[in-house]
Amino acid sequence: MRNVAANLYKTNENHRLMANAIITLRIMPESPDVNLKHIQAEAEKKIDTFVGKHQEKQFEVKPVAFGLKSLDIHFMMNEDLGSPDGVAEDIATLEGVQSAEITNVTRAMG
């Protein structure tokens, strides 16, 4: 078993092991009247296109002020996919979305 673990963590000049990252993406709607369920469904499609449909996602609605609520989406991705900023920019173009930004990136352990 020790040799398997040692081989798993070997790197060379052309290859390095990538880890998973946990991403938090915050979506702010244009107004309290925007349908967050619809935005969630459309954003999930865009995230699935980027990370794959089988990655777990968690959705969290948070009150902001005066009836306005944000939608936080937590998802895991492999670091070798690159930056998730493009997904946030794509989601920001959805109808009813004021802004979408990556608010947290954490390297997953284990």
**Which amino acid belongs to residue 58?**
Q
Based on DSSP, count helices (H) and strands (E) in the chain, helices before strands. 3, 4
Q: What is the pLDDT, as a whole number, of residue 62?
A: 97
pTM of the model: 0.81
Structural domains in the chain plus CATH codes: 18-107 (3.30.70.60)
Give residue-wise pLDDT tens across range 7-41: 444 433 444 556 899 999 999 999 999 999 999 99
Q: What is the pLDDT, as a whole number, of residue 12?
A: 39
Report the distance separating Cα 102 and Cα 15, nearest Å.
Answer: 27
pLDDT category at 99 given cuts 50, 70, 90 is very high
The mean per-residue pLDDT over the stretch 64-84 comes to 94
Q: What is the pLDDT, as a whole number, of residue 11?
A: 39
